[in-house]
Structures are given as structure tokens and as C-alpha cells.
């Protein structure tokens, strides 16, 4: 069993939910206070022990690649200006990991970028995170998934407890509890609603996948919208081997791919920011809501 050292992060989508803001910039580069969303995603991965970050990009995503570059001209200018702390922060972004970029080829759908990374992944288990959402809290979400994989040796999905009304938004788990927060998956019911849901455990982005997912993806038929869907391939894989879900603990989910989730993240992180929190809290309290 290999150590999980690689993560695939698909970032080739159009970001239609944020148009016109994303007409000329990637949705992953929208900032939560002073950092782009994609940096929060990468930081979570690196904190979990990831060394190789594979970003699957498209033609309009050059800004994502540039963000994780060194940008020597900027660093030189900051040094001349005496802005040494900022320069160190900029340099640290590029030093976080070994960044690998792949241009997406193939049909639309979130399964295609995973297939595009096959040659780089090889015969290893690996992580998958989405570029427009992240977790933040006392415990690292990806580290929790990796621990489950290291114990059982099978694919692991992120599970997150939601309110009954939210079961119309996510795939919901039908699963058997085998430990405190670990479940063996029977199936995932897509957006069943409160009356039909088998549980209140939603399956969110964030996976540990084994290399047999590649052969499964190649045999998976195009699904909704004529697209290749990773969840469909994972469901097919479940017919051949066990799948597990980890109900992540002591961490908060930020869906920064939605406008409301993005606004919530900015409020939360604005109140955590040492420079802003007092003035920002004062402003929020002054609002006549």
C-alpha cells in the first residue's frame, strides 16, 4: 500500500455560476479575503502530506498556473521595496509542493480530468479534491480520509452531516456504520430529499481513489448531459470492491463554487483575519438586518 502523495485537482470548468465575474478569470482564483480559493485547496492537501499537486486545467486557466509560479520580477520588486514579509509569503506559495499541469482532453464531465492524470498517477492510490470548495477547521479533512485508507486499503469518500432540507442538494449515503465515524457504502442516492434519503450523510468532493478507477472510468458510459461523471465510475467500482466513507470531524465545509457559500466563506475568514476582524465585526454589528 503506497503513501498518498499525489492529488488531482480539476480546474478546467467554466465557472458559469459566477458569470460575468468568471468570463475572464478562473472561478478558482476568486479570493476569500486575500487568498484565492485554489490556494486554500492546495494548502489543505499539503498539510495532509501531499507533495505532488496535479492541476488539470483548460485554456482559460493560465492564471491558476501563474499563481503557483515564483514570479521572480514581483519578488525582486518586493525586495527592493523592503516588503520582505510579503515576498516570503509569495515565494512560499510556489514552494508548497511540486506542481504539475495537464490540459484536459476528452468529453465534458468531472471524470475526464481524473483520466487525464493516469500517466502521472501510475499504479498508486491518490487523492482528488475539487478546485472550488474546501474544508477548514481543527482537523484536516484530507488527513482523516488518508487514515481510513491506510487502515482499510480501499477507496474513501468524504461524508458530511447535513440538515434534512439540504438532502435535495447532495448525493446521500446509504451505508453501514463500522466504526465511530467510518461507514461502508452500499450506495449513494442522488439528491433524494428529506422523505427518501437513507441518512443525513452527504457525499461531498474529496476522495482517496485506487488506480483501478482508471479502467473503470474507461468503461463507464457517458451519463447526465452526455458527460463522464466520476461518481458514476465510483458507483461501478463499488460492485468490485468495498468503498468507505469518513464522516469528517471538527472541520467546516465551504462551498465557494456557489454564490452564497462564497459570501459565507468571506464573512468567516474576514472575522478570522487579525487585521480586519475588529473593524469588520463592528461593521457587521452595525447593519440593520
User: Is residue 154 in a domain?
Assistant: yes
User: Is residue 1 in a domain?
Assistant: no
User: Is residue 227 in a domain?
Assistant: yes
Q: What is the pLDDT of residue 108?
A: 83
Q: What is the pLDDT of residue 32?
A: 96
> What is the domain range of residue 80?
6-286
Per DSSP (E only), the strands in the chain are: 6-10, 31-32, 35-36, 52-57, 98-103, 126-128, 134-137, 156-161, 171-177, 182-190, 201-209, 244-247, 251-254
pLDDT by residue (tens digit) across 96-139? 999 999 998 877 888 999 999 999 999 999 999 999 999 999 99
- Contacts with 211 (C-beta within 8 Å, 6 or more apart), sequence order: 121, 122, 123, 124, 125, 126
pLDDT by residue (tens digit) across 249-270? 999 999 999 999 999 999 999 9
User: Is residue 167 in a domain?
Assistant: yes
Q: What is the pLDDT of residue 268?
A: 97
User: Is residue 80 in a domain?
Assistant: yes
User: Is residue 189 in a domain?
Assistant: yes
Q: What is the pLDDT of residue 189?
A: 87
- Region 84-96 average pLDDT: 88
Query: What is the share, in percent, of the chain residues with pLDDT greater than 90?
Result: 65
CA dihedral 63, 65, 70, 73 (to 10 degrees): -40
Q: What is the pLDDT of residue 197?
A: 93
The owner of cell 447535513 is 162
Return the CATH number at 60.
3.90.550.10
Domain count, the chain: 1
User: Is residue 140 in a domain?
Assistant: yes
Amino acid at each position: 500500500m503506497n503513501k498518498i502523495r499525489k492529488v488531482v485537482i480539476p480546474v478546467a470548468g467554466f465557472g458559469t455560476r459566477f458569470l460575468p465575474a468568471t468570463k475572464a478569470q478562473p472561478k478558482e482564483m476568486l479570493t476569500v479575503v486575500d487568498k484565492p480559493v485554489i490556494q486554500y485547496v492546495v494548502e489543505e492537501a499539503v498539510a495532509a502530506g501531499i507533495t505532488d499537486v496535479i492541476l488539470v486545467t483548460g485554456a482559460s486557466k493560465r492564471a491558476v498556473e501563474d499563481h503557483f509560479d515564483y514570479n521572480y520580477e514581483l519578488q525582486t520588486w518586493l525586495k527592493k521595496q523592503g516588503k520582505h514579509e510579503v515576498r516570503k509569503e509569495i515565494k512560499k506559495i510556489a514552494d508548497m509542493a511540486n506542481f504539475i499541469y495537464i490540459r484536459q482532453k476528452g468529453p465534458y464531465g468531472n471524470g475526464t480530468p481524473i483520466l487525464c492524470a493516469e500517466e502521472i498517477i501510475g499504479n498508486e492510490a491518490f487523492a482528488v479534491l475539487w478546485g472550488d470548495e474546501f474544508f477548514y477547521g481543527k482537523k484536516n479533512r484530507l488527513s482523516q480520509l488518508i487514515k481510513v485508507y491506510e487502515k482499510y486499503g480501499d477507496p474513501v469518500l468524504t461524508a458530511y452531516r447535513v440538515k434534512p432540507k439540504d438532502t435535495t442538494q447532495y448525493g446521500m449515503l446509504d451505508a453501514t456504520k463500522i466504526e465511530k465515524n467510518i461507514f461502508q457504502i452500499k450506495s449513494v442516492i442522488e439528491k433524494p430529499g428529506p422523505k427518501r434519503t437513507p441518512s443525513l450523510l452527504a457525499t461531498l468532493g474529496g476522495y482517496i481513489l485506487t488506480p483501478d478507477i482508471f479502467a473503470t472510468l474507461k468503461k463507464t458510459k457517458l451519463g447526465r448531459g452526455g458527460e463522464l461523471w466520476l461518481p458514476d465510475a465510483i458507483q461501478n467500482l463499488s460492485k468490485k470492491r468495498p468503498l468507505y466513507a469518513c464522516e469528517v470531524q471538527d472541520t467546516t465545509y465551504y462551498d465557494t463554487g456557489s454564490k452564497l457559500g462564497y459570501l459565507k466563506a468571506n464573512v468567516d475568514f474576514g472575522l478570522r483575519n487579525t487585521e480586519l476582524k475588529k473593524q469588520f465585526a463592528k461593521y457587521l454589528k452595525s447593519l440593520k438586518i
